[in-house]
Structure 1
Amino acid sequence: MKQLSVKEVENLLKEKQPINIIDVREVDEVATGKIPGAIHIPLGLLEFRMQELDKAKEYIMVCRSGGRSASAAQLLDYHGYKVINMTGGMMLWEGPTE
């Protein structure tokens, strides 16, 4: 599975790179702030909502610490999606939030 560090994702945002981020945390966790532009799909709903995603795009998966996002990345990868796990999760995120 491909992985990026929190700093690498922050740099992609700073460079205004076109990236697609999916935050798989729960609603109460996302209420404390998420990466600007991230799509919120809780991990428990991902299997039911994956058809909303475009298999031609690459998605960066995000959670609190990197564990749930790794599970989400494995699930999507199994179904043919291009995914990257952000290691360290929002616990290490120092960039902007919304």
Structure 2
Amino acid sequence: MASPVTKEISYEELKALVGKSQNLLLVDVRSKEEVDKGRIPGSVHIPIDSVEAALAMEPEEFKAKYGVTKPLLDASELVFHCQVGKRGGIATDKACKVGYVNARNYQGAYREWSQREGK
């Protein structure tokens, strides 16, 4: 079976969703040390090693741990990102494998976001 093709979202597309969409779940899969240096507003930190376990949680457990509602499998705005793009792609593939049909990776990652936002 071929591995799923990771779906991408651009800076412009993500920028349009951040702060405007009630449905966006932006998952930051970087390490705590990376997140402590800066983050995309509204993102939820779920380290790459925890993504599969997090997506397998019951909704109540997910909300208790991460403070947000667990996305439905057909959630239209589930986006993963890391520092440079690779881990976000891995997390997106993991989400697709467990049934998240619209999961996307922000390929530009935090590096592009911080450059564009001047932070």
TM-score (norm 1): 0.85
C-alpha root-mean-square deviation of aligned residues, in Å? 1.9
Query: After the TM superposition, which residues 8-87 of structure 1 pair with which residues of structure 2 at under 5 Å, given as runs?
Result: 8-13=13-18, 16-18=20-22, 19-50=24-55, 51=57, 52=62, 53-54=70-71, 55-57=73-75, 58-81=77-100, 82-87=102-107
What per-residue deviation string (whole Å, max 9, x for no partner) do you get for residues 43-97 of structure 1? 0111111123322423110100111000000001000013011011111103488
Q: Indicate the SS of the match to 2:80.
A: strand
Q: Which residue of 1 aligns with 2:108?
A: 88
Aligned length, in residue pairs: 96
CA distance in 1, matches of 2:54, 2:83: 20
Identity of aligned residues (%): 29
CA contact (8 A) 2:25 2:43 kept: yes
* Structure 2: runs of 5 or more not aligned: 1-5, 63-69
CA contact (8 A) 1:61 1:69 kept: yes
CA contact (8 A) 1:10 1:95 kept: no
TM-score (norm 2): 0.72
Q: Which residue of 1 aligns with 2:65?
A: none
Report runs of 4+ in structure 1 exceeding 6 Å deviation.
none
